[in-house]
Structures are given as C-alpha cells and as structure tokens.
Structure 1
Amino acid sequence: MATSVALSVAVFLIVLGSLGTASAELGAGVQKVEVKSTNGVPRLLLDGKPTVPVVFFYNTDIPGPESDRYLREQVALARDAGVHLYSLPLRCPRRPDGVTPNYEYGKGLLDKFLAVDPEALFLARVYPGPNWSWKEVREKTIPETEQARFADGSTPGLSIASEWFRKATNDDLADLVSHYEASDYGKRILAWHAGGPYHEMFLEDYRQKGPDYSDANRAAFRKWLRVRYETDTALRAAWDAPDVTLESALLPVFDPGRFPMRGKGRDALIQVFYDLPREQNWLDFSEFTSDVTADRITEWARIVKETSGGRKLSAFFYGYTVDLPGSLAGHYRLGRLLECPDVDLVASPYSYMGRFAGEPGGFMCPVDSVAAHGKLWFNEDDTRTSLVDLANLPEHFTLFDKRCADLHESVNVLERNFGSILAHRAGTWWMDLVSRGAFNHPDLWHMLRERKERYADVYRDPQPYRPEVAVLLDEDSKFCAKDDWDTNYWTMYRLRDESAKAGASVGCYTLADFLANIVPACKVYVFANAFRLSDEQIGAIRVRLDREQATAVWIYAPGYLGPHSVNAENVARLTGIRVEVADAALGSTGEGLLAGESWGAPLTVSPRLVVTDAAAQPLGRYRAGGQVSSAERQHGSHRSLLLGDMDPTASVLRRLFESAGCHLWVRGGEIVQTDGAFLMVHSGEGGVKPIFLPDGVAAEPIEAEVVGRSDGEVSVRFLPGDTVWFRLRGPDGGPR
C-alpha cells in the first residue's frame, strides 16, 4: 500500500524541514547499480556484485517519538540480519517561500537510518511535482482545467493527463535526482521510485466515482483519438456515431449505476462486455487511460537515467493486472514498461485478497513475465503482523482491523511470501506501513537471514523458473469488460488463488509473451481472459499449442470478441469446440473427468456459452438448464478444454493439471512454491500431511518435521499455519 501524508503532518514537515540536519559521515556507498539478467534470472548488481533484493521500508511520514523508536529498533534488527537496503518516503517539501526545495529535510530522514546502520543504502520513494508545500498549491493558482474532476464535481488532485502537471513534475524530478546525485548522499541511493499525482499510478477513488472528466483529460483523449483514427470518417465508423469528430469527441457519459464498482450477484443479468460499436468510446477511453499512465512512467524512467548518468535504477508501482477492477484502471500497459530499457524495477503490494494463514498471498501482476524481460519485480510486503502496536495508530489507516493472530502466524506468513519471491525470482520490501513495529521482533529477522541464503544460492547459480502450468493474462481483453467487478473477481482474483492451491508448479505471464515465445514451454496453459483476439493471434496460439502438443484450458468466453464480429463462431475457431449463446445463471456440476466436482460463479451473465459440439467430451453441465458448460476435444495436435463457467476450483484445476501430466506435490489445498532446487509448502491446517515427490527426487528438510517416508512420499507434521522447507536432490545427488 503506497504511503500518503496525512494533513496533520504538514506543519511538522515545515518546522522540521526548516531546522536542517547535520550531514552524516558517509562511507564509500555504491557508484553503479544495475539489474542484469543472467540465464533468465534478473539480478540486482551493486558495483557488479550480486545482492539479494530484500529491503526494509519504514514509513517516515508518521512523526513522533514512538515512530523514531520503532525506526531505530527495526533498522538495528535489519542490520544485524545482514539487510542493509532500505526504503522510505523521501519527501522534499518546499521552504516557506513555496518555491525553494528543502532538500535538507530528506537528508535528515536518511541520517536517521545511517545513524543505526552506517552501511545503509536506499530505494528512495519520491513524489515529484506539486504538493501541499508549493506556492501554487497554497495560493490556489493552478488552473482549474488541470485538476482531475469527477462527475460529482469533486477533485482528488491534479490530472495525470495535465500538461501543466507533466512539465512541473518532470522538472521537479530532474532537479531532485540531480541534487541528490551530486551530494554525498547520491552514492547511498540505489533507485528512484517515482510516481504521481497518485503514487500507485491509478486515479484515487476511480472505483467509487468513475473517470476523470477534467478539461485536461478531455484534451488529452482527443489528442489520443487523432493518433488512433486520423480521420473523422474512421472515428465515426468505429463509434457508430455519424456526428462525432476528432475535435468534438467527448469523454464517455457517466453511468450512475456503474459506480461505485461492486458485485451484482445472481439476481441481476450482467452484461460482461461493452456493446460494440455503441460503447467503443468506453473501450477507447480505457486504452487511453493506460496509455497516458504508461507515457508518464516511461518519461520519468528516462529522466532518472539521464539525470543519474545511467548509474541508478528507476522504479514504479504498476502492473496491478489481477487486482485492479475496471477497464479504466490505467494499469494495463505493463508490456510497454517491460519493453522500455529505462525501466528497471516494477512493484505492487502483494494481493490484499488471501493474505493470512492457509491463503496464497498472490502477486497482483503476471510476475513471471517481468522476470522473463529482465526486470526485477518487488512485492511490497505490508503484512499486518501481530506485532503492530495498535495504540496511537493514525486514524486514517483503516486496514488494520485484522492482523495475524500471533507471532507464529506472522513468521509463517512472511515465510510463505518469501517462498513466492524466491521461486518467481522477485524482490521484496518488508513495510512497516504505520510505523508501529510491524517487524519489531528478532524471530522475524532470524528467519529472513536464513531464507536469504536460499536466494543467494539462486544468484550464485542462476536458473530461471520453469513451471509446468502457465496462467496467461491478456491486458487488451481487460479493456473490453464493461462489468467492472464480478468478471475480474471470478476470472482473475479467484483463478490466481485457486490455481495456487492446486498442488502444481504454476507461473503467471502475459498472453503477449506467450505469443512472442517468451513464455517457456509448459504442459498446461490456462487462458484466463483471452476474450478479444485478432486472426493473427488465433493462428499463432494454435500453432504454438500444436507445436508443443500442449493442453489448453480456456476460461469463460475465449475469442468471443473476434476481430470482425462478436459471436460464438469465434470461440470455435480458437478452441475447436462449437458453442452457442444461452444467457442464464452460471454454476456447473462435473461429469467425466470432472465427475463429482462443483464449481462456478454465483452470477447470471450475458453471454453465457453452452457447448453444442457432439464431437466434444462433456466435462460439466450448468445446473440452470442442464446444458453442457464444459468440454474437451483434440484440436489439431493439442488438447483443448473449454470451461464456459467462471471460477474453476482448485479441485477442478488439480484434476485437469494431473490429466495433462503435471506433477502434484500436494493434494489438500496447501500452497506450494518450488523451482526444482527447493520446495516450500504452506498449510493453514495442522496435522500430518503427505508431500508427493517426482520419481528419482529426494527431499532433505531445511525446516520441517518429517514423521515418515515411503516410496515417493514424505509425511510432514504441520502446526496450523506452518510453512515448511525442503532442499530437493535429483537422482545424481545434486540439485534437481
């Protein structure tokens, strides 16, 4: 969760900033920082030395003696555990004149870390551009046209599309980086983590209030349309609007029934996709919003590189592909960032869905595509541990109503999270979001010191993650979904979390990377939301699946939004299985391979696809009407399985994965992470549980209570919420 400054902190910043700070005696620091991919593993290099990407973030935005105490105590614990990378909000308020930057304030914050850990190095989270301390903000001289504006007339701040914001922010970022890089503190800063006007790079409150209807956004949208369509004739044809012009096009009309975004339940018929061409303006606006957001990020990345002489990294929050609902979220151009040579680090909090014991703690993004492009993903781990001191908690933090129950759950949840970043070759920062001691216990840091050694092993002998199952997410198809909440929840959130509980090794990539042959060969490909595909994409998908003789699992309405029409024929071209549309309630009962299973979202949707292909083997039927909802057949040289329902359970996926030859390490819904050299298993329930090993593989416990062994099976005793670790050995006794 990105930090924000409470209004009550403003006076504190002005006063403290005006006092100045004494510069610390700084050591050698680092001259050049890089992320370089070695054998498919992105490695953080400090002056050429591989360094495990583990960071401690402390929220210095919350003032007071308790905050200072928790900073000192936790930085000391990090230091003693061998962690010397830190992050913080490196604020730069203006001095009382509202014009002169007060760099001394930020240097004073860095000094607090350096006083405890003289080896401290920093990922500096910065907020360039206008803030409360700027003269223009105080005197309210920023033009109203540049303010983001909701349909109800309220404003959350500046519009990201504003050219005024763009210039002010670009100049401020360049000045900020230039100043610090020229100072003694420059060699302590590894990366510049920039963002704005909302640091997580999506419009604040868009889920509640909808789009930005500002003059600045309208002007930028029209500019985007001119590039996309070039002529009024082309725009009119696309929008089916005979009177629209490139100069007069408006932002989509506010739909009061759509916001705030929410689930609709079974009683309402949900229109899943935009009605094209009638609602093409919404689809275009959604693409524009992601494009302008990516434009800002790539521009800031270039500024960081140019201003630092290419010696420092750029970092950004982006790629919340799974967790952000709505086509207009602005986060669906991750592919552009991954292709940008100036972008190094991409980050998000780990999912707020399923964080506690026994749950997956999933990534928000297609994390394995990030590594495949040589970029380093960072999970922001703001776990609500049992250690958080709820006394005097700032009242504007409302997400701490539930915490880990005790120290045991806290440690094991953090272990589960570390297993995730280790397998997927990502980084993490432990984040004390509310500055109240979330990580203030030596047991947490003892665990981290030990697990860091596993990551050091990966850096010494880099081997890429090679899952047997790839879940594929399509950014372009997210623009097509008119239904903001339910479709995203059941085809993205739930699919990610249920696949994590299926027992196989699972990766997550973009569909674009599958088409570009960047995704490694897998036994199973799960097409989560491949709703809108071109003729070329359909052909390329079939060619690759045939070449690998793989199994394709298609979710809900694959290919339904074809290149020239919207109909069920497109689904058959892609999957080889003929279907027709029969709108009604979802919810399926299995048969054949899936006999005894029950799955499906509690929704009534349009379109709902039913299988009519007599040559396909039924796998399930809708409970409402009895038509075939799911089926399989051979399609060319690959196996095609169509699940017309949303929300296949872990049990359904487990059967499908196993039928395709995937190894299942567990069968009870436990969370598994493995790269072939280590195995991590996390369980919410206690008891003795079996772990199943592939032929010829031995498992040596790193931290696990083994109570029995038999051929290909290890029995392990779990306490509720336990995370266990094994080192895997192949038939030759070496790493598998």
Structure 2
Amino acid sequence: MKKMILLIPAMLAVSALSAETIPLSEWNLPETSKKTNTAIEAVFGGEKYGTLFWGPFRKAGNAKIWQLTVKLNGSGEIQGSLGCYSEDKKRFLTRHPFSFETKTVHAREKSRDLTWYLTLPKDAGAVGWIRPVLRIVSGKFTIHQIQIEELDQMPPRKNYLDTTCRMPGEVLPDYTEPNLFAGFKGRDGGEPLGIQRELKLALAENASSVSLVSDPIRVEPGDKYILTGLYHSADLHFGNAGGLAVLTEEKAKNWTGDLEAFRPYSPLAVTELVNRREGEWARRTIQYQVPEGVKSVRIGVFLRGDPASVRWRSLYFGLGPWQQDTRSQDFDLSWHYEKNTEPLPEEEVNAVLASRPEASAEILPGNSPRVLLNGNKEIPVIYFGDAIDAARNKTAAFQEAGIDLQIIPIFRKGYYWTGYRQYNFEAIDRTIMENIRRNPRGNFIIGISVTPYPSWAEEFPGETAVNRVGAQQTSRDGRKNLPCYYSRVYQEQVLEYIRQAIEHMRQQPYFKAIAGFHIIGNEDGQFYYQVKYGRYMDEAYSPAAREPFRAFLRKKYGNDPEALKKSWKREDVTFENAEPPRTPRPLDTFFWDRSADMAYWDVSIFMNEAMGEFAEAMCQAAKEAAGKKVIAVMWWGRGGEQFVQPHFAQTHVILPAAGMDLMGGQPGYFGERNNGLTSYYPWIPDSLRLHGKIPMIEADFRTWTTVYKSLQQDSHVVRYWTPDSFRNALLREAGRLFSVGGGLWFYDMTAGWFDDPKLMESAALVKRIAAKLEKNDTPFSPAEIVFVADEDNFLATTEQLHCWNGPNFHSVRKTQRAMMRSGLKYDFLYLSDLIAQESTHYKVFCFLNLYHVTPEIEAWLDTLRRDGRTLVFVYAPGYSTDKGLDVDNISRITGIRTEKIEAGSQKSVFVDSPCTQGLAGKNAGLENALGLVRFRIDDPDAVPICTYTDGSGVSGAMKKFPDYTVIYLALPSPFTPAFLSRLAGYAGIPVFNRTPGDMFVHRRDDLMVLHGVEANTNILCPPQGKKLYDMTTGEELPANSDSTVEITLSPGETRILECR
C-alpha cells in the first residue's frame, strides 16, 4: 500500500520516511483564495460549478481505489474527486466520480478530517495520470493537510440509514453521519417508534389532525440536515395531508395549533401523501438548515383531513448530504455513452438527404389541432435530446420506437452565439449532423438558445437585469450579468441571431430534415423571472426596460397624461418620467387596490405582455427565416400552473397570434408527479385547443438510469424506481394530454435517461396510443360544466409581484385536483374565450378568479342569469373595484349578502344542502390556509353549503332565483371531488364516473383516462352506445346489464380506455 501526503506548506513535513512532500506551487490557487505560512485559505468565489483546487499529477498505476483525506477548519460545503488524464497528460478524460460527493462542514474552531473513497472509471486502462480535486461549493475553509492513499479494496462504510426497508427498486445511499433521531417513545416502553419499529398515526372521525413530536435533538447553527422516512397508507382521501417536519423548540410548543392556523401566504403545495399497495412504501424527505441561535430541534410527524391512517418507519435525521450522496459517487455514467448508435458515414447520409422529401410541419387547426408533418396528421410525441451534448442523443433508439420527430438542442452558452453578430456556424452544423447521421430519415426541430454569450453584459452594461436598488442579479444556477428581457438591444440581437442561424441552415443539405424550431433562453431556458429583491419580482427595474415600459403606458392610456395621473394617483407622473414604484407594497392583502396600487398592477401587466410580445417575435422570426412551413415551440403558457412569471400573456398576445405552435411545460414538482397523485395542467387547455395551440407535457422523468443527487431530490422531482411505476406515470401524463388535444416529449436531459429496454417499451406504447387516437379523428363535443379562469385577474393579486402563491394559485391550480377526480366531463377555459365563443350552452359555470369585474363582464354575466343555469363564484368575486376593495360588491355580483371578517382559519366543513347530500361533516376544499382576507355569508335567503370550523359562520351558500341559481364559496380552493359530483347531479349533468376519488379525465369523446389515487372500484358510464377498450392491450372491458363498466384500480395504476 502506497501513501503520499500532500502538505501545505512543505514545512509541515511528516516524519514518515515514505511520505512525499509536494511543493505548494503545484496546487492551483483561485483568485478568491490565498496562501498563508501554514495553510491555504480556500474561499468559494461564486463560480457556477464551484471553486476548484487541483492537486499535482500522480501516476495512476494499477490502483483502483484512492482514499482522499483533508484536514481543515471552516464552514460550508466541499467536494472531493479525481481528475483523470491520458498517458501523455495532454488530454483530460473525465473527473471521477462524475458527480462529486458533497460534505457539509461547520468546524469553526476544532479542525476536522474529511475522507472520500474514490474509484477510477470503468475503462481505467485509458487513465495514465490522476490529479486530486477539491471543489468549494459554499463557504470558506482553512486547509491544513491533504493525504492521498492507494487502497487494495474499499473499506466497509458504516451506514446509519435503515436499509432493511425501502420503496420497490429503490437504491439507497450510505449515510455515514449518525442518525440523531432516537425515535418516538412508545406507550409500551419497548423499542422507540419510527426507526425500525412502525409508528401509526390514525385520524379519528371527529378529529381534524393528529401529530407527534420527539424529544429535543442537539444541533449546530448553520448545519444542513436531512430528514427522511418511509410511510404506508391505503385509505387516504382527497384533502388528507401529512408528513415530517423539523421544529424549533419555540415552534414545537404549539405545533398542533400551527397546523390549523392561517398563513398570509400558503406553502408551495399541500403536503399530499400517496396510497400504496399492500407491502409497498413511499418516502418523504426534507432538507433543513439550522437557523442562527437554534441549539436544538424536535422531529414532528402529522396527519390531517378526513379520517385516515398512516404508518411510518425508518426515520433518519442527520448530516446526510444535501447534494451528491454516495450513490452519485458510485454511479457510472459512461455506460450510457458506450451504447450510443454509431453515426453513418457523411456521404451516405447526404445521399439519403438528397433523395428524401423536404420535411415540413404546420398546425392543422380545427376542433382538435394537430401537427401536419410532411402531409400526415399527428398527435405530437417527440424526443427531446441531451441539452448538454447533442452527440449523446438517442435519436436512433427513439426512431426505432416510432418517435421520429426529434429536438436537437444547440444550447451551449457562448458556443454557437459567440459575440456581437458573431456565430459559430461550423459548430451548429457539427451538432446538427451528429444527430442526423444517426437518423437521416427523421424529422427534426432545432432548439436554439438565445442566452447571450459570456462577454455580452460587459459589452452592453446598460442592458442587463438589475433589481430596484440597481444591483446586478444572479440566476438560480449561478449565472451573472443576465440580460434584461425587455431590452430592445437584447431583443434585436436575439432576432438577428435567429435569422442568421436559420438562413445558414437553409444552405445546408440537412435542412431537408428540419421541420421546426424550439426557442429557449435565460432562466432555466424558459424565460422565467430572474430578478428578485427579497420576495419581490424586479424584472422591470433595469434602465433598459424604462422606455419599453413608458411605451406600454402610452398605449394603455391612449397617450393621455391625465389618464395616467388619475390612474396612478400622482400629479407629478408623466410618460417621460414614469417608472415602476421602488417601495415594496406591504404584504397586508392579496389584492391590489385599484384606487391606490395601479402603478404596481401596470408593472405586472407590462412584464407579462411585453415578454409575450418578445416570445411571439422570436417564433415569427424563426418561421419567416425558414422559408418553408415549420412549427415554433417554446416552454410557455403556465396559466394553469400559476408559478412561472412572466408568462401570463396568452389571451392578449400569444393565443390570437400565429407564431407559437407548441407550448411546453412540466408535470409538477414537490412530489406532485408522484404515482398516486393527479398533478395539474400547466395551461388552460381548452383555450389552447380553440386557438390552434398544442400543449406539450415534458416527460423529464428520473429513473434508475439517471444520475443521483440526493434523497431530497428524488422526493422533490420524483424518481421512478421500477418499469411499472415509470409506465404508469408516463401513461397518466400522456393520457391527460391526449385527452385535451395535447402531446408529450421525452426529455433526455443529460444523456441516457431512457437508456433501458423497459423504458423504451413504454415510450413506444405511448406512440402507438397516439397513432391509434389520431386515426379516430374524434371531435370534442362540449361539456355541460365549465371552469373559468380570467387571465386579467391573474395580475389582480399581489402574488405575481411578490413571488409567492396566493388566491390564483389556490383557485386555478389546486382546484384542478378536485376537477380531475370528480368523475365529470368538463371544459376549462379562459373567460375571454368563453365570451368570444358566446358559449352559453353550459348548465354550470364555475368562475374561479373573478376578483375584478369590469362593466362589460358584469353585463355578460347578467346574460347568463336565466334558463335554469347555476353560476358558481369562488372566493372574492368583484372584491377589487375601481374605487378600492369593497366586500359589498361581492354581494352585488353574487346576489348573496356577504361581509368581511377578521383574519383567521378558512378551514371549513360541508353541511347538509341540496348539493351536498351525504357530505355533512366532511372537509370542504383543499388546503384553505389563506386566512388573511376572509368573508362570511350573512344572507337569510341563502342555503348554507359549508361553514367555518372556528365558528366564524357560513363560508359557502346557494341561493335560488326565479330563473337561475347562484352558489358562492368564500374559499380560495373550495371544491372536492365528491362535492363536484353532487353538484353535477343537482344540476342534471352526466357523471361519467360514479365513484369520484381516482383521477378521471374524459375530454375527448373517444378517450377515458384513469389513475389510481384512492384506488376505488370505479363505476364508469360510457357515452351512449359506446363500449370501452383497454388501449394497452386492445381488450374489450365487460359491461354490466346497465351498460356501466367497473374497474378496480391499484394505487398508482393507470388505465387508458378507448370509447367506440
């Protein structure tokens, strides 16, 4: 066994004769760090991928395992790895492991030894030399000594994570830091509960929540901890929430009360748990960083909602790494690249291109828009290739699965757009041909990134994104000097790059295979908001946005300065000096006050509509430059998601225009895409369909083939551990989108995400289902109930500038969970489309967010008050008026007398009424925690539907008028599946699934999609004269004598049924 000690500096030589002293000069020294007489002061310098310290070269020899040990003081995160080089030292091969293992350290006084065990890549024979690498991810350290040692075998690692129980197929890391959680005390005095002995939480009939809190656990301020555990349930229902929590001593004193208390703004997503099959477990993981001054914490576990029970076990709380755990170190990424298909010779490819027809694509409008690809109608199912290195794409594998419409990303910053009006066309050609040489008969969409080149901000300093105090912003992934989205200079350069790049492509043989363009850029490639100051969105504060903002104001106010002054309530404001207000609006309400806050409202409108105009201009530029029919794609929309500003410009900009065709989005985070949940539509899907736009869900699914980061990331993004769980999740997402006229793309984000025959079988199955549905060419007949979102009112609330979720998030996004589990066929439309289409055939109109009602909308509402219709209003209809916030206007709009009451819990339960039969005592709605603004119904002529549990009165009621009925629900997210089913029955609307609770989507007349949430026996009612066929097997499902079909689902199971 050989050992080398790398001492810093040389004067610290160890007495061992075998030790080799390495001169300090052989370690690189980044600018942010410095040498002292005894150590290196290593400081994180803000680099995107961390601050790197490279050690000296060492001959790799025959060693396969290296032990790297660092003695240091300090606080932050540090990673260790090996740099691998060729025999002549000239060629860098890789770093290994590819994902560094992160260690979190808080050793301000006493030094600490950190150890990494590092292996060489599988093809270690190509490695001639190695260099130890340290990467500072955050903080600063004083490094005293580094040792590297060759080992014959890997020493055993002590794992404090319980591995005796896990999710099916789950790969667990080794947690070498002790488990500080000692378990909850059991009443029998036996082994503590929650570690290897199960803990059961049961919610009784009359209880609203149940929780348990551990004894104190000693912690260090600043340390980063992981809390993880397994749970099982089979009887969770709509609205049940639960999970784990880390509590300070202060919070633990009244935690049960806190679970029921209102919050000014809600958490991102309700903490939904999932049902699982008998013997199967699910995992919940959270991260926790100890605040300053906190010396001890407690672990809490809770359950709330309607009666249910959950079992917990294998809880761990300790310094498990937040990122890059031991699985990252052990994961061998190279096998994904080895199996890639070899490209065909270029001469052969050019011959194929010369003989093939010209690729073209356009949207075929109609009742159900389709992509017309080379003259053939298609429901789009697309392969989206590796965003990092296009040479790694699996174009041939997906083509064999029938998916030959594929996206080639040319995304690398500074690699293609290299300078002001400078472009690397050779690199563009090389990247595109890398893919086409593997599938020359395929059809391709070229992804063009318009993120500017690295020196752009230095060349155009006045055009960057800054916050309200003038500070430059850093993106979520560490990029600096961001462009201002509204800069005319930036926009003009982007349009020029798009035109020049496509005009160059037109001259190349491969252009015959190109059928479209996908424009991406900046924050996450999706033009998310990128400038925040505290909790406020500051996109409009750049000097570059000043003139575009003023031009927007001139247009809005008809170039009338008096109208601007009157709206902003400022005599000194003009079109020449108007700027976004620099004082943050206090977080004391959800709603902008139109009598005082129009400047804030105008900023919000400007940011969204100007960004929409830029997006439309980019799509149009690509189409015009192509010189043939092509489609334009962007990540865009998000009206149903309510979490991606500034994308809310559909009704005024994107939908009426002809530029953007396909609009991409993800199926949720924070566990929302887990099997056993519904997720949500990121768009308002029926409005997209009406305007000839196609929503595309992104299957960026992590599986056992995907690089590991941490258990928390597995929980946040969701990792599917088995072919069965992947297949059911994929079918759920594909089925949901096909049902509303959408499509799906497989995003192979960093190579090999679908590199398994079982995964490709599921991909091919989705394509076959799409092809079968396309042949049906079935129209979308109108539903009898419509859920209505008003895009103008997305910007009526403070949540769009405060970057925090509020009423729209609850009313538009969370409400979808009840909609998709109601068993109903429904439409989901923007208000403007409902009015424009003169769609008055519906029996029930559910208005989700009519916070501000214009005279024109009010007049239109009056036309609905007849013919026995039911109008349902949610939360605060008409509360925002031109004269201020006025609860009396809610009474006027609804016809039900309402009053505002003090802030408090909005938790409500149903009472007996004509539309709530059998629901009395059940919880109303989902996670109604937004108690900052509350309303109470005080109308003797109205029949109560639900009441506040704190005794504050009626929170929902119905009132019959001679020709119509009004239901007013004073809760942001008031619906449950059972309530919607009862409402439909009351209004005489068909219920297609008589047992609401599981996900059921039936929008296309020929398609029903189910996913097991509550795992019911679903009693389906096919359209008259139709039979049901399983689209995965072709099997006809047997019907009962009354023509109903019964399907019992397992938790997380998906069934896609054809009606014919």
Q: Same fold (TM over 0.5)?
A: yes
Could you give the per-residue CA deviations for residues 453-494 of structure 1, whole angstroms, max 9, x where no partner exists?
Answer: 443344334333344432211111111101441323321221
Could you give the per-residue CA deviations for residues 6-58 of structure 1, whole angstroms, max 9, x where no partner exists?
Answer: 779xx99xxxxxxxx968425225343210123x1111112322123100112
More helix by share: 1
Is contact 1:672–1:681 with CA below 8 Å preserved after alignment?
yes
Could you give the per-residue CA deviations for residues 107-126 of structure 1, whole angstroms, max 9, x where no partner exists?
Answer: 32333333332322112221
Q: Are residue 415 (structure 1) and residue 731 (structure 2) matched?
A: yes
Query: 1:665 deviation in Å?
Result: 1.1
2:958 match: 632
**1:366-405 to 2 correspondences below 5 Å:** 366-384=684-702, 386-390=703-707, 402-405=718-721
Question: Do the aligned partners of residues 330 and 34 (structure 1) sit closer, same or farther apart at CA in structure 2, a change above 3 Å counting?
Answer: closer
AA aligned opposite 1:143: P
1:732 match: none
More strand by share: 2
Could you give the per-residue CA deviations for residues 662-714 of structure 1, whole angstroms, max 9, x where no partner exists?
Answer: 31415241111222322221104557554444665432344489698453433
Correspondence for 1:677 among 994, 1006, 1012: 1006
Could you give the per-residue CA deviations for residues 60-118 of structure 1, whole angstroms, max 9, x where no partner exists?
Answer: 4158xxx83xx34xx33322221101113224724877754112323323333333323
SS of match in other structure, 1:471: strand
Could you give the per-residue CA deviations for residues 243-264 of structure 1, whole angstroms, max 9, x where no partner exists?
Answer: 2222222212253976xxxxxx
Is contact 1:630–1:643 with CA below 8 Å preserved after alignment?
yes
After the TM superposition, which of the residue ranges 375-384 and 150-159 deviates more from structure 2? Answer: 150-159
| Separation of aligned partners in 1, 2:576 and 2:830 | 35
| Separation of aligned partners in 2, 1:142 and 1:566 | 43
1:290 match: 608
Query: 1:178 deviation in Å?
Result: 1.3
Correspondence for 2:774 among 446, 452, 459: 459
| Separation of aligned partners in 2, 1:7 and 1:174 | 32
1:524 match: 844
Instruction: Give RMSD over aligned pairs.
Output: 3.2
Is contact 1:113–1:120 with CA below 8 Å preserved after alignment?
no
2:324 match: none
Query: 1:395 deviation in Å?
Result: 13
2:830 match: 510
Is contact 1:210–1:254 with CA below 8 Å preserved after alignment?
no
| Separation of aligned partners in 1, 2:569 and 2:1026 | 61
**1:333-352 to 2 correspondences below 5 Å:** 333-352=650-669
| Separation of aligned partners in 2, 1:668 and 1:396 | 32
Larger CA Rg, structure 1 vs 2: 2
Q: Are residue 182 (structure 1) and residue 502 (structure 2) matched?
A: no
SS of match in other structure, 2:551: helix
| Separation of aligned partners in 2, 1:364 and 1:345 | 13
Query: 1:337 deviation in Å?
Result: 0.7
| Separation of aligned partners in 1, 2:936 and 2:776 | 49
| Separation of aligned partners in 2, 1:456 and 1:125 | 25
Which consecutive unaligned segments of at least 5 residues does structure 1 have? 13-20, 259-269, 729-734
Question: Do the aligned partners of residues 381 and 278 (structure 1) sit closer, same or farther apart at CA in structure 2, a change above 3 Å counting?
Answer: same
| Separation of aligned partners in 2, 1:570 and 1:581 | 11
Question: Do the aligned partners of residues 550 and 662 (structure 1) sit closer, same or farther apart at CA in structure 2, a change above 3 Å counting?
Answer: farther
| Separation of aligned partners in 2, 1:322 and 1:222 | 30
1:264 match: none
1:219 match: 547
Could you give the per-residue CA deviations for residues 621-673 of structure 1, whole angstroms, max 9, x where no partner exists?
Answer: 22234422111123463332111112223333332233222314152411112
1:102 match: 424
Question: Do the aligned partners of residues 136 and 438 (structure 1) sit closer, same or farther apart at CA in structure 2, a change above 3 Å counting?
Answer: closer
Query: 1:145 deviation in Å?
Result: 4.4
Instruction: Give % identity.
Output: 21
SS of match in other structure, 1:598: coil
Could you give the per-residue CA deviations for residues 546-605 of structure 1, whole angstroms, max 9, x where no partner exists?
Answer: 36x433221101122245554234323432322222233212221223323322544354
| Separation of aligned partners in 2, 1:159 and 1:407 | 43
AA aligned opposite 1:101: Y
| Separation of aligned partners in 2, 1:252 and 1:621 | 40
AA aligned opposite 1:618: P
Is contact 1:568–1:579 with CA below 8 Å preserved after alignment?
yes
Question: Do the aligned partners of residues 278 and 209 (structure 1) sit closer, same or farther apart at CA in structure 2, a change above 3 Å counting?
Answer: closer
After the TM superposition, which of the residue ranges 163-172 and 667-676 deviates more from structure 2? Answer: 667-676
| Separation of aligned partners in 2, 1:676 and 1:161 | 43
| Separation of aligned partners in 2, 1:362 and 1:95 | 36
SS of match in other structure, 1:428: strand
Is contact 1:22–1:108 with CA below 8 Å preserved after alignment?
no
1:57 match: 384
AA aligned opposite 1:720: P
| Separation of aligned partners in 1, 2:840 and 2:509 | 44
Correspondence for 1:321 among 624, 630, 639: 639
Question: Do the aligned partners of residues 331 and 22 (structure 1) sit closer, same or farther apart at CA in structure 2, a change above 3 Å counting?
Answer: farther
AA aligned opposite 1:108: R
AA aligned opposite 2:428: G
Question: Do the aligned partners of residues 155 and 636 (structure 1) sit closer, same or farther apart at CA in structure 2, a change above 3 Å counting?
Answer: farther
Could you give the per-residue CA deviations for residues 385-410 of structure 1, whole angstroms, max 9, x where no partner exists?
Answer: x233325x699999876312322111
Q: Are residue 443 (structure 1) and residue 758 (structure 2) matched?
A: yes
Q: Are residue 570 (structure 1) and residue 889 (structure 2) matched?
A: yes
| Separation of aligned partners in 1, 2:492 and 2:711 | 35
After the TM superposition, which of the residue ranges 562-571 and 672-681 deviates more from structure 2? Answer: 562-571
Q: How many positions carry a matched residue from both structures?
A: 687
Question: Do the aligned partners of residues 288 and 527 (structure 1) sit closer, same or farther apart at CA in structure 2, a change above 3 Å counting?
Answer: same
Correspondence for 2:372 among 45, 50, 69: 45
After the TM superposition, which of the residue ranges 307-316 and 448-457 deviates more from structure 2? Answer: 448-457
Correspondence for 1:210 among 532, 537, 544: 537
| Separation of aligned partners in 2, 1:499 and 1:287 | 29
Is contact 2:623–2:631 with CA below 8 Å preserved after alignment?
yes
Normalized against structure 1, the TM-score is what?
Answer: 0.85
| Separation of aligned partners in 2, 1:80 and 1:22 | 21
AA aligned opposite 1:654: S
| Separation of aligned partners in 2, 1:152 and 1:395 | 38
Which consecutive unaligned segments of at least 5 residues does structure 2 have? 1-46, 51-90, 93-344, 475-481
Structure with the bigger RCO (C-alpha within 8 Å, sep 6+) is 1
Normalized against structure 2, the TM-score is what?
Answer: 0.60
SS of match in other structure, 2:686: helix
| Separation of aligned partners in 2, 1:88 and 1:95 | 16
Is contact 1:387–1:439 with CA below 8 Å preserved after alignment?
no
| Separation of aligned partners in 1, 2:639 and 2:935 | 25
Is contact 2:946–2:956 with CA below 8 Å preserved after alignment?
yes
| Separation of aligned partners in 1, 2:1038 and 2:758 | 25
| Separation of aligned partners in 1, 2:839 and 2:715 | 36
Q: Are residue 622 (structure 1) and residue 948 (structure 2) matched?
A: yes
| Separation of aligned partners in 2, 1:382 and 1:321 | 20
